[in-house]
Amino acid sequence: MFKLFSRHWSIPSTVCLLVEAAILAGSLGIAFLVRFDGQPERYFTFSEFLLRAATFAAVILCGLYLNGLYDFSTRQSAQHLVVQLARALAFSTIGLLGVYYVLPPVWTGRGVFAIALGIAAVLLTVWRLALRWFLITRFMTERILIVGSDDHAVMLAREIIAREHLGYHVVGFVTDDPNLQGVSLVNPAVIGTSAQALDLAIEHRANRVVVAQRESRGRMNLDSLLRCKTSGIPVEKGSDYYEQLTGKIMLEDITVKSWLIFSSGFVVSRSVLFLKRILDLAVASLGLLLCWPIMLLTIVAIKLESRGPALYRQERVGRQGRLFTLWKFRSMRSDAEAEGEAVWAQEDDPRVTRVGALIRKFRIDEIPQLWNVLIGDMSLVGPRPEREPFVRELIERFPLYEQRLVVRPGITGWAQIRGTYASSVEESNEKLRYDLYYIKNLSILLDLSILASTVRIVVSGQGAR
Q: Report the candidate in 411, 421, 425, 412 with the shortest Cα–Cα distance to residue 453.
A: 412
Predicted local distance difference test score (pLDDT) of residue 156 = 93
Whether CATH 3.20.20.70 fits 142-246: no
**Sign, Cα dihedral of 266, 270, 274, 275:** negative
Predicted local distance difference test score (pLDDT) of residue 254 = 73
The helix, strand and coil proportions of the chain, stated in percent and rounded to the nearest 5, come to: 60, 10, 30
Domain ranges across the chain: 2-136, 142-246, 270-460
Q: Report the candidate in 85, 107, 145, 6 with the shortest Cα–Cα distance to residue 439.
A: 6
Q: Report the candidate in 4, 440, 14, 427 with the shortest Cα–Cα distance to residue 240.
A: 440
In tens digits, the chain (465 residues) has pLDDT values of 666 656 667 777 888 889 999 999 999 999 988 888 777 776 778 888 899 999 999 999 999 998 888 887 777 788 889 999 999 999 999 999 999 999 998 988 889 999 999 999 999 999 999 988 887 776 667 899 999 998 889 999 999 998 888 888 999 999 998 999 999 988 889 999 999 999 999 999 999 999 988 765 556 788 999 999 999 999 999 988 999 889 899 887 776 566 666 666 777 788 889 999 999 999 999 999 999 999 999 999 999 988 888 998 999 999 999 999 999 999 888 766 655 566 666 666 678 888 988 998 888 999 999 999 999 999 999 999 999 999 999 998 888 888 889 999 999 999 998 876 666 777 888 899 999 999 988 989 899 989 988 988 888 766 555
Q: Report the candidate in 68, 87, 90 with the shortest Cα–Cα distance to residue 16.
A: 68
Predicted local distance difference test score (pLDDT) of residue 353 = 87
Q: Got the DSSP string for 246-283?
A: HSS--GGG--STHHHHHSS-----HHHHHHHHHHHHHH
pLDDT digits (tens, 9 = 90+) for 65-76: 988 888 877 777
CA distances to 381, 387, 412, 448, 452 from 435, in Å: 11, 17, 11, 16, 18
E strands in 26-87: none
E strands in 96-253: 142-147, 168-174, 190-192, 208-211, 235-237
Q: Which amino acid is at 116?
A: A
- Spatial CB neighbours of 11, under 8 Å, sequence gap ≥ 6: 1, 2, 140, 166, 167
E strands in 62-163: 142-147
Radius of gyration of the chain (CA): 26
CA atoms lying within 13 Å on the CB side of residue 139 = 9
pTM: 0.83
Predicted local distance difference test score (pLDDT) of residue 340 = 56
Quote the distance between the C-alpha of residue 175 and its chain's center: 34
Spatial contact of 23 and 124, defined as CB atoms under 8 Å apart: yes
